[in-house]
Chain A
């Protein structure tokens, strides 16, 4: 058993980064995630593991510092909250276009605009549909506990390097600020120069030796035919990710007649709602997508023919609900798909979820 600690979600992101052998963190303060960089600065990992931590002048600079480090094969990350992620989307598009592995953490707050500092899940579209310009996807992980905030840092890096694609941890202010028991992983040393060349030597800017051609990290291609080929290659990669990396949790779905679909903080609320609903005799289950991209389409398609409906519970006006509908459509079913959500930084209550189930599916 690893070391047990009571920690905040934001703090554990920092701790997990150090422990998984992360090479660099570049960030800019923004509520409700500033504890990530604060924890790193307090821990001074440059003295222990050699990890670089730098406060950049903006989110724009942060993501471009990540680009520079990632392009030389380093394990680099940044974290921010919704308005800051919007600023980063240019850089994220470049990172995706240049096929660089890195980790971006979005501890969401309510929007649009400056919005609020309270938790939200309204950046779902931005995260899973790409966010910036061009056809790209982010491998998007949605933790629902402080333990998963810890575990997904390593997982996100592993997937990013496996596919040479940016990963995102899409979480929210509630999970960032929440304290829970967490089992910390043992320290994995940062990769040596030789290990980085082993892993990334075919593409990274590790320095042009006489034994190889120069490496150029760029997303630019002026020849339309070649640029289309690049895009086709990206699409193949995304198909591969969709085929191999879907992760979800199914809770009490076996006998369920109604299925809640919820991720992160909402999924925790839904677990309580299931208990309340079952006390009333309503057989409810939960599909909790762990990867929002790739979305767990197959399990929803599998459930669609035998359940009475799906309720997508989100802290937004209804974004993931569109992917639930697509999954049901893929099963060629007409099972009703509804949405219930709260916005502006308000968390839905379990009772509200049960009320929504009753009003949308039972009292008609």
Chain B
């Protein structure tokens, strides 16, 4: 069979979402952001909520998320996306509001805002990209940097005595009664990308159903910051990140009603 007999519109099985803007993203080759952006665009399209969705982009590499998905966006100050999203969601309860934040943004400078937004049970989706490093500013240590992991501000590896421990935000968030769905995903293989898409889609569906905060961590790579190849970074992530940041659902109120006090 000739290749040109296969490449025909009626045989199309995988293509870019029309909601993803036709431009080359500024991310480094192999960056997880691109995959997650793609998923968000696909989900907004599939749910038919383009007109109702407001995205909040962070400070960090994903600040330019607004250039890639064809919806209305607000760009928040560093760490403040959950507060900005609160302002949108409270005054526009009919809108589907999501934040897209990195680990420096969410776990360090914005630790207060995310905890309180989740504790209030703001009806928002939070997408948390955890690559254990500050990408945009050039690979500095993040709160989620692993013990011993070298970064430009921990060149000899993260030292507990000096820098404390990797911060497991998602575990902390899951303890807050305001949250409805808290999960940790990854996008390093086709199977995990498909699974992650289901999780993010569920988070959006929860917000459409006004169930409260849905929080999706995506354990990600920053191969430039880690100074690895994209494929090597995926392997390193599986071997080193997953033991610390174990993938899976931490809380899903659809399946299990919370225990008392949680």
Chain A residues in the interface with B (C-beta under 8 A):
23-24, 26, 52, 54, 56-58, 60-62, 64-72, 74, 76, 90-91, 94, 98, 205-210, 214-220
Contact = CB atoms under 8 A, between A and B. Distances in A.
A210 B92 CA distance: 20
A68 B112 contact: no
Contacts of B80: 60-61, 64, 67, 91
Contact of B88 (A56, A72, A215, A216): A72
Interface stretch (B49-57, B167-175, B229-237): B49-57
Contacts of B89: 68
Contact of B74 (A66, A76, A90, A205): A205
B70 interface: yes
A216 B73 contact: yes
Interface in B55-90: 56-57, 63, 66, 70-77, 80, 83-90
B202 interface: no
Contact of A67 (B57, B63, B87): B87
The secondary structure that dominates the B interface is helix
Contacts of B50: 208
B113 interface: yes
Contacts of B72: 205-208, 214-216
Interface in B18-66: 50-54, 56-57, 63, 66
Nearest to A222: B64
A94 B77 contact: yes
A71 B73 CA distance: 9
Contact of B83 (A68, A74, A214): A68
B116 A68 contact: no
A74 B66 contact: no
B91 interface: yes
28 contacts: A26-B87, A54-B86, A56-B83, A57-B112, A57-B116, A58-B112, A61-B83, A64-B77, A64-B80, A65-B86, A67-B74, A67-B76, A67-B80, A67-B83, A67-B84, A68-B83, A69-B90, A72-B88, A90-B77, A98-B75, A207-B53, A208-B70, A208-B71, A208-B72, A214-B73, A215-B72, A216-B75, A220-B75
Nearest to A23: B91
A74 B86 CA distance: 13
A207 B51 contact: yes
A216 B72 CA distance: 6
A216 B66 contact: yes
A220 B77 CA distance: 10
A60 B83 contact: yes
A107 B86 CA distance: 25
Contacts of A94: 77
